[in-house]
Structure 1
Amino acid sequence: MNSSATRFRKRIYGLPEQAARVCLVCPDFKYNIREGALVGTGSMQPTPTCCCYRFRLRYRIGENPKVWILDPALRCRHDQSKIPHTYREDEPCVFRPGVDWSDGKTLASTVIPWLAMWLMYYEFWHATGEWLGGGEHPEVPIDSSESDNQSNEPE
């Protein structure tokens, strides 16, 4: 068989491995794996001068991961009506769906650092009024069933 004809299958990281890797970068990450979904909460402080944020992560293989900020609540600047690069007030847009994320990547090396960067730019935005994080934000319809699931914290 010609070696150029050999196909390699993309590795997909299972939910237990994804959770273990997130725990390495966010030691207080608490999670459950139920009904094929990894759901957990943790905290991060993007820089020594930034706030410490509690976040919620939900991931199911074959779907895009979602993150929400639980505490402190994200808020608009006094002079602007919307927080940049968010789907909802508490759901930051940290990557381009279908472009930046695939099941062959780990949450710990992508979504978690992307969230930290987003939070850093969020704080810069509060200080300056200018979003310095770049990126593009797709206009995506909000799935009301997902917001209903938002309060389901890991036990």
Structure 2
Amino acid sequence: MKQKYPQFKHKQEGNTIIFEGTLQVKPEFPVYTISIIYRGSLSPIVKVLNPQLVENPPHVYKSEDNKLCLYHPKNFKWTKEKFIAKEILEWTAGWLYFYEVWLETGVWYGPEAHEDFEKLDYE
């Protein structure tokens, strides 16, 4: 994480690691502050802290305070051996891009079928 995203800092709370930092996917888009809670083999929790998302954005878990929906657990199995920087942050950057386009157009051009996230290359 430190090599690929040095702007992200972390703190450990028991077996949980909380990463917080900024992402800007295009110069004309805002700088977003992101929180990622790493919980070992449990799916990471990804939230946008700032700027606040609009009410009822697409592809979030509303019951969990707008946790970003980056993949469907039936199509991608998170394990503690995977890397937050490779999997989760790259998908988060893609989500932010599609969110900004959705704000401008009202259309979510990102993958609708969650398995399509595995096919995208955000590098």
Normalized against structure 2, the TM-score is what?
Answer: 0.81
> How far off its partner does 1:23 sit?
2.2
Letter in 1 for 2:32: Y
Instruction: Classify 1:98/1:36 alpha carbon distance in 2 versus 1 (closer, same or farther; 3 Å).
Output: farther
Q: Write out aligned runs for 1:6-155 (5 A).
A: 22-76=1-55, 82-88=56-62, 90-100=66-76, 101-136=78-113
Q: Which runs of 5+ in 1 are unaligned?
A: 1-21, 77-81, 138-155
Q: Which runs of 5+ in 2 are unaligned?
A: 115-123
State the secondary structure of the residue aligned to 1:110: helix
CA distance, structure 2, for counterparts of residue 71 and residue 136 of structure 1: 27
Higher RCO, 1 or 2 (CA under 8 Å, sep at least 6)?
1
> How far off its partner does 1:66 sit?
0.8
CA distance, structure 2, for counterparts of residue 92 and residue 116 of structure 1: 11
State the secondary structure of the residue aligned to 1:118: helix
Letter in 1 for 2:82: K
Identity of aligned residues (%): 31
> How far off its partner does 1:98 sit?
4.5
- Note the alpha carbon deviations across 1:76-117, whole angstroms, 9 max, x for none: 4xxxxx211001353211122243233332111110000000
| Structure with the higher strand share, 1 or 2 | 2
> How far off its partner does 1:127 sit?
0.6
Structure with higher Rg: it is 1
Letter in 2 for 1:42: G
Letter in 2 for 1:125: W
CA RMSD of aligned residues (A): 1.6
